[in-house]
Structures are given as structure tokens and as C-alpha cells.
Chains A and B, each alone.
Chain A
Amino acid sequence: MSNRSHSVSEASNASYKASNLSFNMSQPLVHLVVILMSLAWVLPTLGLLTSSVRPPQAVANSGWWTVFLNPFDFTQFTLANYRQVLGQTGMARGFLNSLAITLPATFLPMLLGAFAAFAFAWLDFPGRKALFIIVVGLLAVPLQISLIPILRLYSRAGLAGTFAAIWLAHTAYGLPFSVYLLRNFFGSLPGELFEAAYIDGASPAAAFFRLALPMSGAALASLGIFQFLWVWNDLLVALIYLGGSSSVAPLTLVLSSLVGSYGQQWHVLTAAAFVTMIVPLAVFFSLQRYFVRGILAGSVKG
């Protein structure tokens, strides 16, 4: 893996700044472009957040930006939309379902992926090389190719519409990336380490649990965030395998059905959308460094 600066914040300190380049770059233009793009990126989300705390009448009849005419008039804000969304639309249930789906579906592919990655990096078994090449190939496979056969298996086994169905599916779909990422990481650990452990009589299991895993905190964190966000934000897999059963529907599924049933009631939709975003945004802003690291490790191997 590379030693390049891996986080957005680290990166900012790492390099030259324009002020050091006293050359002909038109610096005001740089600021203008970056600020305009930042605005284009942040305004849509800001509009959503603002509307979610405005009364229904206000949301329907005036633009969200009008609140900034009197930014300190707090009477124009309300939490009623959130109360409605959590109370009446199944979002509260959806939130719990999302947690119930996401936690096991993050942990399992990390664990099984770590086992397999360790085997690919440091153990021997029949077909090791060929199997890993298949795993690399599967990184790009569109999930669509597996939906019908798996759904049929699930229907036959009575698993459609259960948490187990979606845990297993997300685990399997997450495994190629998990194995790929961790295998590269384990492979970069010094071999002498394991050699010494074996000479001391340690088993591969001991080498895995006592040496490899404790050294992989950062790699596991990157992978974990990736998988967590992927599962939390997934719509397709939930839509197919959980279908219409609202008792197990995660937030994304509830939100997409609200878009159908609440069409133009933006006070509901904005609050509902924000509920789906709270957890991933918290994860993103607190652990951004690991997220960036995962992206870099997964796409450009240094």
C-alpha cells in the first residue's frame, strides 16, 4: 500500500500551497471555481435540511432560502415533520431495521473476508492462485446477475423477507472486496513475523488472531466503514430480497416508498431523507480518514 497522504485533512497539510507558487496562476479564478463548486455541492443538502425543519405550509409555498431573510427568527422552525415521519411513516421502525441489517452485514464479511484473506496471503490450499483471480474478477460483477437465482432459492427455502436472507446476501456481495483489500494488507506484513511464530509452535489460527488481526486495525476500519455505508445505503438488495414486507424494511426502502406515496409533500420527504442520512453522515465526518484510505487501497494499489 502506498504512503501517500491518505486523508483529506492530512493531505491539506502535506503539500505545496498556491501561496508558495508565486507564478502566473490566476489565483482568484481558482477560488471562484472551487467556491462555486462547493456551493453547488452543499446547497442541495442544505435545502433538504432547512426544509425538514420548516412547517408544511411554509415548505409548500415558499423557497427554503427565504428562511435566511430572518435567520434568527427561530419561530419559523419546527420539529413536527420529524415527529410525523418517525411516528406515522414507519421511519422509526426502518431505523431499527437498518441497524439490525447493517451491523451483522458489516461484521460478517469482515470476519469471513479476513479469514480468507489470511489464507490467500499466508497459507496454502488447492487452487489458491486461480481462486484469487476469480475473486479479483468478481469485484466488478453487477449484482443484477445474481438476483433471480438467489431470490428463487430464498423463496423455496422460505428465506425471502427475512433478516437472515439479507445478511447472507450482503456478506457474500461484500466478500470479494473484503478479501481483496485485506489480502493485500496481510500480504504486506513481514513474513519473518509469522515464521518466528511458527517456529515457536503457534498454529495458523494463533498467527491470525494474535498477530495478523491486531496489526490490521486501520485496514479493518477502512473496510468496515466501506461495508457499513454500502449496506446502510443499499436499496436494490433490500428491495429484491425483502420485497414488500415493511416489518423488515430498512430506511432506504421506506424512503423510496414514501417518495411514491407522499409525492409532493416535501416537508415529509425532506425530513425522511435526512433521517436516512444521519448515521452515514456521522460515520463519514468522524471517520473520513479511514474511508478515504479504503477508497485508495481498493482502487489504486500503490
Chain B
Amino acid sequence: MIKRVRSMRIGRGWGALFAGPALLLVGLYLVYPTMNTIYLSFLDQRSEHFVGLDNYARILTSEATLSAFRNNLLWLAVFTVGTVVLGLMLAVLTDRIKYEAVAKSIIFMPMAISFAGAGVIWKFVYAYTPPGVNQIGLLNQIRAVFGSDPVAWLIARPWINNLALIAVGIWIWTGFAMVILSAAYKGIPRELMESARVDGANEWQVFRSISFPALAPTVAVVATTMMINVLKVFDIVYVMTNGNFGTEVLANRMYKEMFEFRNYGQASAIAVVLFLAIIPVMLVSIRRFREQEVH
């Protein structure tokens, strides 16, 4: 991809000078801490004594972290599928309407605001007052219109509150999936779809046999990004439930271990688990990068 002109490789000093500050910072803030955190995960809560794999053993047996694992898995499934499917659907459907730009801006807008802000927006949507009193939360008002009793969306466990949090994540990230998939969709040669239609294929068949295969690599990239997001999910849970009522996730649990329980060994072990979970993604993106460089 890059054609480096030979004569330009002048003065190695310049290269080191230009790249140095950035590499130094990245080394200090990302590379060194990664190794240090791995080391700390084998020490006790005050990082004084070596405890072997005790922190990991506790993570895999304590109910608090196990519940966080389960919830992260639920996020992984529902959030990833939700954003990709909705993003794909919107990419295809908005291509067929005149107000495409407006609809896409609306769906994309949550990407601009903070997860904390989104958390407050949705906490209000989920607001609960007892039956018989005016509902001020949109969702319970919709239920009231249909004559149903209000639901305490953020408290009802185990499914409703976790799905309610995941819905906020989907609300934020669907626009991201849509934008990327839409660009890819518009890159598919129209003649292919047209000729299939002329041959009598219906829209679903066109999507299944032409659009989707063409979009598959992009879908994979988007799904990967979403999986990374799931592992890091923190703000939404921290602001909306702080992991109470069975909604804990790993990143929030790590924060608690760090600041509430001052257990640095345990917190480090959780961070290492997050890191390990992301290593396959790192390797894939490195390999994809190398393949691109060859072409």
C-alpha cells in the first residue's frame, strides 16, 4: 500500500525523533502497565505477597464475579447480535427512502453523547412509579396505555434489568454499525442486484444471495468491534445500576475491587481476564493489517 521512496530514508535520527515521544508514552501507559498488571495479579490485595493463582481461583468461584461473567456473556450475545442486525437492517432500508440523511443522523446521534448521559436518558425512560399513579417513564406509560402494570425495569432480575441495560448499549452503538455497513452496502455494484431482480428474485433473495455475501467481511469487522465494546462496558452499568440487582459486569467489578475493597490483586486479575479475552481480536487485527500491507 505504501510505496516508500528509497532516497527518502534519510537520517535514522529523524525517524526516532519523530516517533519517539508517541512510542514513549504508549510504552509507559500501555505496554509497561500491561506487564505490571499481570504481575500484580499474582500478588495479594496490597501487592505485598506472592499468592500464585489465588486471585484467579477466587474470580472463578466467587458469586459476584461469576455473575459478572454471565452478564458479560449475555451482553456479548444480545448486544453484538442486536447492533449488527439492526445496523444491517437500517443500512439496507435507509438506502430506499428519500429522508435517508435525516433517519441516519437520528440513529447515529447517540454516538456523540457520553455513556453517562445516555445512562441518565434511559434511566428516565425506565422510571417507575407504582400502579395507579401517573407514570413519568416513557416505557411504563406505553404499558399503561395498553392496560399493563408498570415494571421496575432496572430492578426486575435476572433478565429484564440486564436486557434493559443492554438496550441502552444497542441504542448507542447501532448507529456505528449502520454507518459502516451502509458505506459497504453502497459499494456493492448495483447492476448485480438489478440483474437478479430482472431474473425474478425478490428483495429477500437479493439480500441473501447478493448483498449479504458482499457485506459479510464488513459484518465480521463490525461484530468484532462490538465484542471489544462488550468487554469494556462500564459507564452504562456504573451510572444506571452500579451492578446492583444482578447486573454486574467485569469492568464495573474491577472498579469496585479497586476502590471499594482496595483489593489490587483481585482487580488486576479481572483486568488480565479482560486482556486475555481480547488477545484473539488483537491477533486477528494484526493479521488483517499484515495482509493489507502485502497488497
Contacts and interface: CB of A to CB of B under 8 A. Distances in A.
Given A37-B90, A146-B34, A168 B29 contact: yes
Contacts of B136: 59-64, 266
B31 interface: yes
Interface string B1-25: 1111101111110111011011101
Given A30-B97, A266-B124, A203 B14 contact: yes
A11 B40 contact: no
Contacts of B7: 195, 198-199
A198 B103 CA distance: 49
Interface in B111-154: 111-117, 119-125, 127, 134-138, 141
A118 B14 CA distance: 10
A100 interface: no
Contacts of B104: 8, 11-12
Which of A5, A34, A199, A295 counts the most B-chain CB atoms under 10 A from its CB?
Answer: A34
A159 to B, nearest CB: 12
Contacts of A35: 103
A142 B108 contact: no
B107 interface: yes
A4 B186 contact: yes
A68 interface: no
A77 interface: no
Given A45-B121, A235-B116, A145 B96 contact: no
Interface in B163-198: 171, 176, 179-180, 182-184, 186-187, 190, 197
Contacts of A175: 22, 25-26
Interface stretch (A83-91, A130-138, A215-223): A130-138
B180 A172 contact: no
B15 A124 contact: yes
A148 B120 contact: no
Interface stretch (B49-57, B58-66, B73-81, B272-280): B272-280
A233 interface: yes
A44 B125 contact: yes
Contacts of A176: 26, 30
B135 A125 contact: no
B124 A47 contact: yes
A259 B103 contact: no
Interface string B258-278: 100000100110111011001
Contact of A12 (B100, B117, B176): B100
A280 B116 CA distance: 13
Interface string A191-210: 11011001100011100100
B183 A11 contact: yes
A79 B78 CA distance: 39
Interface string A136-168: 111111111111111000000000000000001
B281 to A, nearest CB: 5
Given A23-B203, A38-B106, A137-B282, A252 B171 contact: no
Given A62-B134, A140-B285, A270-B120, A34 B33 contact: no
B49 to A, nearest CB: 17
B37 interface: yes
B30 A273 contact: no
Interface string A20-33: 01011101001101
B232 A142 contact: yes
B120 A25 contact: no
Interface in A257-274: 259, 264, 266, 269-270, 272-273
Nearest to B282: A137
A65 B136 CA distance: 9
Contacts of A48: 120-121, 124
B42 interface: no
A62 B135 CA distance: 7
B239 interface: yes
B29 A8 contact: no
Contacts of A51: 124
A136 B94 contact: no
A47 B19 CA distance: 48
Contact of B278 (A61, A121, A140, A149): A140
A234 B117 CA distance: 11
Which of A59, A285, A300 counts the most B-chain CB atoms under 10 A from its CB?
Answer: A300
Contact of B289 (A11, A133, A192, A198): A133
Interface of B: 1-5, 7-12, 14-16, 18-19, 21-23, 25-26, 28-34, 36-37, 40, 86, 89-90, 93-98, 100-117, 119-125, 127, 134-138, 141, 171, 176, 179-180, 182-184, 186-187, 190, 197, 202-203, 218, 221-222, 225, 228, 231-232, 234-235, 238-239, 251, 254-255, 258, 264, 267-268, 270-272, 274-275, 278, 281-283, 285-286, 289-290, 292
Top 7 A-B residue pairs of the complex, sorted by shortest distance between their CB atoms? A125-B15, A172-B29, A18-B96, A284-B112, A233-B114, A146-B33, A116-B22
Given A149-B36, A255-B117, A296-B183, 19 more contacts: A8-B179, A11-B186, A17-B96, A23-B203, A33-B93, A41-B110, A43-B125, A44-B124, A63-B135, A63-B138, A64-B136, A119-B15, A139-B285, A148-B264, A149-B40, A235-B114, A252-B116, A273-B116, A300-B218
11 contacts: A11-B182, A23-B203, A140-B281, A142-B232, A146-B33, A150-B33, A204-B15, A235-B239, A239-B238, A300-B184, A300-B218
